[in-house]
Amino acid sequence: MTSQAPTPAYRRLSVEERRSQLLDAALSLFAQRAPEEVSLDDVAEAAGVSRPLVYRYFPGGKQQLYEAALRSAAEELEQCFAEPPQGPLTQRLGRALDRYLAFVDEHDAGFSALLQGGSVVETSRTTAIVDGVRRAAAQHILDHLAVRDPGPRLRMTVRMWITAVEAASLIWLDEDKEPPLDELRDWLVEQFVATLAAGAGRDAQTAAVVKAALAMETADGAVGSLARRVVPVLGDAAHLL
Amino acid sequence: MTSQAPTPAYRRLSVEERRSQLLDAALSLFAQRAPEEVSLDDVAEAAGVSRPLVYRYFPGGKQQLYEAALRSAAEELEQCFAEPPQGPLTQRLGRALDRYLAFVDEHDAGFSALLQGGSVVETSRTTAIVDGVRRAAAQHILDHLAVRDPGPRLRMTVRMWITAVEAASLIWLDEDKEPPLDELRDWLVEQFVATLAAGAGRDAQTAAVVKAALAMETADGAVGSLARRVVPVLGDAAHLL
């Protein structure tokens, strides 16, 4: 099968590039079929290399390749939320979401399979890996909020938003990747602002976080733009104040 | 084992009550163990009845009982969101959440197992049942928003909130059922208001829904209370408008 390989120049890849190429091919196959229905020949063919080459990189065979592929996807996802602690929070969150959504866009069915677990990949392990990513993402966000000892309300707010982002990503894949990524990103950032602002009404720690975050925002930033669009909609509701 | 049964007067239950009692016992066992580790004897013992009685109600044996238990939980969950279309939306949503959270509180581990799927119960079937409940809940909410032809933004907003509610329920069970149910309910209603208000900034249909919903609210209702608590927190952010 290697004679029909669509990657003529594959010998030039570095060890790391090759490993990563094999993991990508494996992840995409495991996303579409149950692990027992994926052979190393399939992985070799998808990557355009020989079977012995796959074994050279993964001497433990399919099980090793399978676990490494899941692990690699999880690590890549976790890295999406690593962002220097500078500038307005909404900008940092927007950049993190750009990376996260690019991952969703690229891995597509593999992402759905990873998140939905069960029917395609082994469940308990998948669940543990995905939960690890969620925990890491929540920790990144709490770090950016500069909260050292987050209370239950703030933790719940952040975890709810992360779940909502996952749901939005799955829906986005379901709906032929509409709306465009930029718009989805801005919308998710705005949802985070809204969810945090509502939480501030009930929790002093969240209120302090919101005040500190707002002080860093500029009028041409995400919060200003959101406020200018939402205030007119709420304008008729003065009777509620 | 029936001689030790803790339900001395069980003969007085009607057919429907008995069926429902057996389903509850089964659901709670299937929630704690894999289906293959639950026997009809276990179900009979948990319900305080004889094995032949279980067979009389479920002649198909364990598989029939298992599917009926899942189906029954799903139907009960779906019914939580059935609510007459009268009064402010936040009150209707609050009543629906009261029922939903009572279900979560009562079924506890069974609820987690149902939602997390996989490790405890058969995955593809569980996923399909849970997805059915999600779809039904979303439809109930869209009906209450009086939207006949919901666009993608509004549908995504509602589905994201439903996922966030699920996440909050699982976290609530994880955190020894803190905060108290009333507070969690009010908080989830407020999150819905916030998420819809933010969505209004980007989608004309959502904006129309928000305006119509606000017109039904009263100053002493959920939105008024939320606004009075949040506005002071946002007070310093006039530079963003």
pLDDT, tens digit, for every residue of A177-203?
Answer: 999 999 999 999 999 999 999 999 999
> Is B132 in the A-facing interface, judged by CB distances under 8 Å?
no
Which chain A residues are closer than 8 Å to B226 by Cβ? 198, 201
Give CA–CA dist B181/B99, Å, rounded: 11
Query: What percent of chain A clears pLDDT 90, i.e. is strictly above it?
Result: 53
> Is B128 in the A-facing interface, judged by CB distances under 8 Å?
no
Q: Which of A156, A183, A206, A225 to mutate to test the interface with B (most CBs of B within 10 A)?
A: A156
Mean pLDDT is lowest, of A34-48, A162-176, B22-36, B115-129, for B115-129
Q: Give me the pLDDT at residue B192, please.
A: 96
Encoding tokens for residue A114? 């990873």
Q: Domain B1-68 sits in which CATH superfamily?
A: Tetracycline Repressor, domain 2 (1.10.357.10)
So what's the architecture of A7-69 in CATH? Answer: Orthogonal Bundle (1.10)
- What confidence tens digit (pLDDT) does each residue in B93-131 have? 999 999 999 999 987 777 776 666 533 344 566 667 778
**CATH number, domain A81-217:** 1.10.357.10
Residues forming CATH 1.10.357.10 domain(s) in chain A: 7-69, 81-217
For residues B69-93, one letter each, b for 16 or more C-beta atoms within 10 angstroms of the residue's C-beta and e for the rest, the string is bbebbbebbbebbebeeeebbbbbb
Residues forming CATH 1.10.357.10 domain(s) in chain B: 1-68, 81-218
Encoding tokens for residue A31? 């996303």
Q: Tell me the average pLDDT across A106-131.
A: 64
Does residue A120 surpass a pLDDT of 70?
A: no
Q: Tell me the average pLDDT across A125-153.
A: 87
Torsion, Cα of A11, A14, A18, A24 (10° steps): -130
Q: Give me the pLDDT at residue B120, please.
A: 36
**CATH number, domain B81-218:** 1.10.357.10
Q: Tell me the average pLDDT across A96-101.
A: 96
Q: Give me the pLDDT at residue A124, please.
A: 60
Q: Give me the pLDDT at residue B47, please.
A: 93
Q: Give me the pLDDT at residue A1, please.
A: 44
Q: What is the mean pLDDT of chain B?
A: 85
Does residue A6 surpass a pLDDT of 70?
A: no
> Is A235 in the B-facing interface, judged by CB distances under 8 Å?
no
Nearest to B233 among A178, A183, A200 (CB): A200
A52-56, B119-123, B133-137 — which one is most confidently predicted on average?
A52-56
Q: Tell me the average pLDDT across B187-204.
A: 95
* Residues in B 189-228 with any Cβ partner in A closer than 8 A: 190-191, 193-195, 197-202, 207, 210-211, 214-215, 217-219, 221, 223-224, 226-228
Mean pLDDT is lowest, of A110-119, A140-149, B187-196, B212-221, for A110-119
The CA-atom distances, in angstroms, between B190 and each of A145, B93, B136, B165, B234 are: 21, 10, 21, 12, 16
Residue A10's Cβ-side half-sphere holds a number of Cα atoms within 13 Å equal to 21
